[in-house]
Amino acid sequence: MSKPKLALYWAASCGGCEITVLDIEEKILDVAAFFDIVFWPCAMDFKYKDVEAMEDGSIDLCLFNGAIRTSENEAIARLLRRKSKILVAFGSCACDGCIPGLANLTTREEILDWVYRGSPSTINENGVRPQPKVRVPEGELEIPEFYEEVRTLAQVVPVDYFMPGCPPQPPQIVKVMTAIMTGAQLPPPGSVIGAGDKTCCDECGRTRQEKRVKRFYRPWELVPDPDQCLLDQGIICLGPATRSGCGALCVKANMPCRGCYGPPPNVTDQGAKMISALASVIDSQDPEEIQRILDQIPDPAGTFYRFSVPASLLHRRRSAPAA
């Protein structure tokens, strides 16, 4: 009998999700023994046409990491969706947009302008911009189109499961792979797997007090007490607005949670949740003082939505309306 087929793909991502798959250490051997790996561009030599030649639905499990930034990302997302029985949005980029999704707070034009003209290290006297199609003596060359916005995988194709994290933590991957390999009953499609169903605070061992914050600090501005809640100390920690599952790794290293496991269950918009939480801890009733305290947060959207701009209710920045 042939082995179940496994595909792994990276779209707009950093490669961390590929590494975390290997971070399951010797368990990767079990995975390789159980599955027939049919597509994994990062690690093995496959071509897109190999996937195109496969029968629809012939891939049993596809772990798709990365957001949808270019037409290539989208085309492969659609292709793998068609070929896969179970499509998993693997990691924060595919689930919520993650760091590439922060680009949604600017525009395509601003990005291209900065990269090909504005940045101090750019030398581009002729103002050359990449074109999706270009004619050269040898024929026509084509590169993927750079989209106006970054989208999550589920904004492009239907997704069976969401496995959050930047990257998903190896113990969670082992748990999920073991469940799949032992044929355990999988949760209903659309579920979040490989994560908890509470907030990051639930996994955090620090002592919490009634929060009264007069001043916000950035992590480098003070050495935090390792036993006290970071938010109590005025460090913006996204724990209250983040799903559990990582084991509170960052806070154990005395760094605040940045929110990579995405919104907790029943929360639609991670940033809105964090705005709500932070507004509750500020110790002031005076509008001007509140404004002063809030001004200590240099980049609210980028902080509260660090991992989830594309998945947020607003998706991206609107260009300013014509005056």
Q: Give the binding site for other proteins (CB under 8 A).
A: 56-57, 78, 81-82, 105, 151, 154-158, 189, 267-269, 271-273, 275-276, 278-280, 282, 284-285, 287, 290-291, 294, 297, 299-302, 304, 312-321
The secondary structure element, H or E, covering residue 94 is helix 92-96
Q: Which is nearer to other proteins, 176 or 293 (CB)?
A: 293
CB of 8: closest distance to other proteins in angstroms? 19
Q: Which is nearer to other proteins, 59 or 251 (CB)?
A: 59
CB of 172: closest distance to other proteins in angstroms? 25
Burial class (CB in 10 A: 0-12, 13-18, 19+), 260: buried
CB of 300: closest distance to other proteins in angstroms? 5
Beta bridge pairs of residue 235? 217
Q: Which is nearer to other proteins, 124 or 268 (CB)?
A: 268
Query: For residue 146, what are its two tokens?
Result: 């750079």
- Cα–Cα distance, 101 to 89 (Å, whole number): 15
Q: Which is nearer to other proteins, 28 or 275 (CB)?
A: 275
Contacts of 178 (CB under 8 A, 6+ apart): 184
CB of 122: closest distance to other proteins in angstroms? 26
Q: Which is nearer to other proteins, 191 or 268 (CB)?
A: 268
- Per 3-state DSSP, the chain is made up of helix, strand and coil in percentages (nearest 5) of 35, 15, 50
CB 74 within 8 A of CB 144: no
- Cα–Cα distance, 49 to 134 (Å, whole number): 23
C-alpha torsion angle, residues 299, 303, 308, 311 (rounded to 10): -50
CB of 272: closest distance to other proteins in angstroms? 4
Q: Which is nearer to other proteins, 78 or 117 (CB)?
A: 78
Query: For residue 83, what are its two tokens?
Result: 């070929």
The secondary structure element, H or E, covering residue 139 is strand 139-142
CB of 256: closest distance to other proteins in angstroms? 17
CB of 266: closest distance to other proteins in angstroms? 11
Q: Which is nearer to other proteins, 6 or 278 (CB)?
A: 278
- Cα–Cα distance, 248 to 321 (Å, whole number): 42
